[in-house]
A and B are shown apart, each in its own frame.
Chain A
Amino acid sequence: MFELPSGAEIQSIIASLKGNVGFFLPEIYLSVLFMVLILIDLVVKGRKNNLLSIATLLGLAGSIFFIHQQHALPAGELFFGMYVLDPYALFFKYFSVVGGMLAVIITMADRQFDREVKSIGEYYALIVSMVIGMIMMASSADLLMIFLSMELVSLTAYILTGYFKRNARSSEAALKYLVYGAVSSGLMIYGFSLIYGLTAQTNLIKISTELAAHGYDPLVAMLATLLILAGFGYKIGAVPFHFWSPDVYEGAPTPITAYLSVASKAAGFALLTRFFLISVPHGQPKIEDILGIDWTLLLTVLSIASMIYGNVVAIWQKNVKRLLAYSSIAHAGYLLLGIIVRDQLGTQATLFYLLSYFLMNFGAFYVVILIANKTGSENLDDYRGLGKRMPLAGAALTVFLISLVGLPPTVGFIGKLMIFSSLLAKGSLYLGLALVGILTSVISLYYYMLIPLNMYLRDAQHPAEKDFNPGMIAQVLMAVLMFLTLYFGLFFTPLSDFARYSSALFGLTW
């Protein structure tokens, strides 16, 4: 049935694999870091070990050097089309690594870990393995690699969500995350098998040429599309695959919530964009791709549903982490808009929006942790009068929330502006979508502003003790994030240039 390769062929395959290893250094480095962290944990036991935190932080910072070196390498396929290296993948490599570093820093500030866990060794190792998974998600160009990297991220995320073993909310969140995740990845795999049946290929670029050349059965293609979208939609947390996200965001350790809501979502978008732009054949007027139209239509429905549902349900939330969960569903909707446009401007806008979302969401979750450390609560009512007792935290949270609404002069405003202008540049067809986006942003103004309202204009129910200083390092980080949110809102050219540079996908000419 299968032909065996000859000796010479095997030699050339091995030579090619060896040649490609040089393009794979960041991933190898991070894998070594993962093992080193486990070894360090064996040697130095302890609660929230500072040595481990610093080692993880420095290790992750070291990987930026390797990623930076990859700019010099030519874009191309590695390992027989399993993996690609292009500016788009590099963008998400930076994104995941810096996100991982922030997650570590936030963990160091979080007091809940002191109460809930005995040993924290594997926690940091798992964060590193999640970073590897996300990097691989952004670089996969083959259905098999997509599946493997997605499972790597999911499996580590399940464990990290349930890391507070004796905490009921954390265990429950892990179970819900697991059940939804397992079902949606199972459905996605079934969709992949249908695509494989249609094209006999697993490489995205080859799938695209195969679909364009030989056509396909629209019904099967539609079914495969729906099933695959279940997997991707779950990762990005878009309606109607969002059921897990409020519970998981509320129950998980807050650093993990922040990391999941930013980096895991971004990695999902990396996959979705690559899959959507590359494997769906474009520019074929003959079958002005049925699959392409269906994808656009499906994504439009998902995007509108996410924007409306996320923003409307958030209004009734009393828990700030839950509120941010619903807001992240809404943001998935805005991000989808940039993909629907399906051109370079739209991709650039999506990447820029991800960067701005990174700053403001990490910032918001960081302040929420600092406040929870002091008040022991994430309830909206307990935020009363905090503006006077924690002036810097209050100011920073207000800035992040203004940015999440999308008001100037913050980076969130520029992000929304770019998304909507990329929609409008495409023609009046997308005017309605932009309108939905703008109207739902207005709704979001209400629930985001409830938090500053409680902090500044309402007095605390129980006048508490005076000690509300979160510590020097925490304040510096908070101030830096706040400063960046404002700075890039005014001088956004470097970020938008970087996003533009990163919108080059291998195998795609705009």
Chain B
Amino acid sequence: MEQLTTIGLNHYLTVSAFLLGFGLFAVMTRKNAIVILMGVELILNAANINFLAFSKFNGGMQGVMFALFVIVLAAAEAAIALAIVINVFKTFKTVDVSNIDSMKE
């Protein structure tokens, strides 16, 4: 019972592993470009939870710094990604990645 009630490192790691799994699942099964990008955000946040948890439990500062930079870069990436998706929508009239496939072998 005590295992469940006191929050330790394993709890954080479990949550982050689940987030990574959901993110990968979204990336692999979804066809909508925007949902794929949401999956990527989940993966990045899974890494963030890992960094913060490790940082909390070993007392170092690097993990916190890393998480901050990941958040900033995730925002930058989302901005560029959405610009590209909008441009693709203008050209193809869809954001379904299975239809955006004009180049073939």
Interchain nearest-CB distance for A11 vs B (Å): 19
Task: Please give, as numbers and ranges, the residues of chain B lying within 8 Å of A192 by CB-CB distance.
Answer: 47, 66
User: Taking A155-B77, A190-B47, A194-B50 as contacts, is the C-beta distance between A178 and B105 under 8 angstroms?
Assistant: no
Task: Please give, as numbers and ranges, the residues of chain B lying within 8 Å of A190 by CB-CB distance.
Answer: 20, 43, 46-47, 50
B14 at the binding interface (Cβ < 8 Å): no
Chain B 51-63 against A: per-residue CB contact (8 Å), 1 yes, 0 no? 1001010111111
Interchain nearest-CB distance for A247 vs B (Å): 5
B103 engages A182 (CB within 8 Å): no
**Bound CA–CA A189/B56 (angstroms):** 18
A144 engages B69 (CB within 8 Å): yes
Interchain nearest-CB distance for B41 vs A (Å): 8
Task: Please give, as numbers and ranges, the residues of chain A lying within 8 Å of B46 by CB-CB distance.
Answer: 190
A171 in complex: contacting residue of B40, B48, B60, B84, CB < 8 Å: B84
B88 engages A182 (CB within 8 Å): no
A189 engages B70 (CB within 8 Å): yes
Task: Please give, as numbers and ranges, the residues of chain B lying within 8 Å of A200 by CB-CB distance.
Answer: 54, 58, 60, 62
A166 at the binding interface (Cβ < 8 Å): yes
Task: Please give, as numbers and ranges, the residues of chain A lying within 8 Å of B83 by CB-CB distance.
Answer: 159
Task: Please give, as numbers and ranges, the residues of chain B lying within 8 Å of A250 by CB-CB distance.
Answer: 103
Chain A 60-94 against B: per-residue CB contact (8 Å), 1 yes, 0 no? 00000000000000000000000000000000000
**Bound CA–CA A398/B21 (angstroms):** 49
B66 engages A178 (CB within 8 Å): no
A162 at the binding interface (Cβ < 8 Å): yes
Task: Please give, as numbers and ranges, the residues of chain A lying within 8 Å of B15 by CB-CB distance.
Answer: none
Chain A residues numbered 146-179 whose CB sits less than 8 Å from any CB in chain B = 147-148, 151, 155, 158-159, 162, 165-169, 171-175, 178-179
B3 at the binding interface (Cβ < 8 Å): no
User: Taking A172-B103, A174-B84, A196-B51 as contacts, is the C-beta distance between A179 and B92 under 8 angstroms?
Assistant: no
User: Taking A168-B102, A197-B54, A316-B105 as contacts, is the C-beta distance between A158 and B69 under 8 angstroms?
Assistant: no
- Closest A residue by C-beta to B54: A197
How many chain A residues sit at the interface, stated as a range, is 35 or more
User: Taking A155-B76, A182-B77, A197-B54 as contacts, is the C-beta distance between A1 and B84 under 8 angstroms?
Assistant: no
B87 engages A162 (CB within 8 Å): yes
Chain A residues numbered 119-163 whose CB sits less than 8 Å from any CB in chain B = 143-144, 147-148, 151, 155, 158-159, 162
**Bound CA–CA A287/B46 (angstroms):** 31
A510 at the binding interface (Cβ < 8 Å): no
Task: Please give, as numbers and ranges, the residues of chain B lying within 8 Å of A251 by CB-CB distance.
Answer: 103
Interchain nearest-CB distance for A246 vs B (Å): 8
Interchain nearest-CB distance for B87 vs A (Å): 5
B92 engages A186 (CB within 8 Å): no
Interchain nearest-CB distance for B76 vs A (Å): 6
Task: Please give, as numbers and ranges, the residues of chain B lying within 8 Å of A147 by CB-CB distance.
Answer: 66, 69-70, 73
- Closest B residue by C-beta to A165: B87
Interchain nearest-CB distance for B23 vs A (Å): 7
**Bound CA–CA A162/B100 (angstroms):** 14
- Closest A residue by C-beta to B85: A175
User: Taking A151-B73, A189-B44, A196-B63 as contacts, is the C-beta distance between A171 and B87 under 8 angstroms?
Assistant: yes
**Bound CA–CA A317/B20 (angstroms):** 37
**Bound CA–CA A333/B102 (angstroms):** 28
Task: Please give, as numbers and ranges, the residues of chain B lying within 8 Å of A316 by CB-CB distance.
Answer: 105
Interchain nearest-CB distance for B54 vs A (Å): 4
How many chain B residues sit at the interface, stated as a range, is 35 or more
User: Taking A193-B50, A196-B66 as contacts, is the C-beta distance between A186 and B44 under 8 angstroms?
Assistant: yes
User: Taking A143-B66, A179-B97 as contacts, is the C-beta distance between A148 and B60 under 8 angstroms?
Assistant: no
**Bound CA–CA A172/B47 (angstroms):** 29
A187 engages B43 (CB within 8 Å): yes
B80 at the binding interface (Cβ < 8 Å): yes
Chain B 75-97 against A: per-residue CB contact (8 Å), 1 yes, 0 no? 01100110111011001100001
**Bound CA–CA A1/B60 (angstroms):** 9
B59 engages A2 (CB within 8 Å): yes
A178 in complex: contacting residue of B39, B48, B81, CB < 8 Å: B81
B81 engages A182 (CB within 8 Å): yes
B103 engages A202 (CB within 8 Å): no
A183 at the binding interface (Cβ < 8 Å): yes
A172 engages B54 (CB within 8 Å): no
- Closest A residue by C-beta to B37: A182
B87 engages A144 (CB within 8 Å): no
**Bound CA–CA A183/B70 (angstroms):** 14
A247 in complex: contacting residue of B23, B47, B103, CB < 8 Å: B103
A209 at the binding interface (Cβ < 8 Å): no
**Bound CA–CA A182/B83 (angstroms):** 14
Interchain nearest-CB distance for A499 vs B (Å): 33
**Bound CA–CA A1/B59 (angstroms):** 7
Task: Please give, as numbers and ranges, the residues of chain B lying within 8 Å of A175 by CB-CB distance.
Answer: 33, 84-85, 88, 97, 100
Task: Please give, as numbers and ranges, the residues of chain B lying within 8 Å of A162 by CB-CB distance.
Answer: 84, 87
A-binding residues in B (CB < 8 A): 16, 20, 23, 27, 33, 36-37, 39-40, 43-44, 46-48, 50-51, 54, 56, 58-63, 65-66, 69-70, 73, 76-77, 80-81, 83-85, 87-88, 91-92, 97, 100-103, 105
Other contacts beyond A178-B81, A246-B105: 11, CB < 8 A: A1-B56, A158-B84, A171-B84, A172-B101, A173-B103, A175-B100, A182-B81, A183-B27, A190-B43, A190-B47, A316-B105
List, sorted by A's number, 9 A–B pairs whose CB atoms are closer than 8 Å.
A144-B66, A155-B77, A172-B103, A175-B88, A178-B84, A179-B36, A193-B51, A197-B50, A317-B105
The 5 closest A-B pairs by CB, nearest first: A186-B43, A193-B50, A189-B47, A197-B54, A182-B40
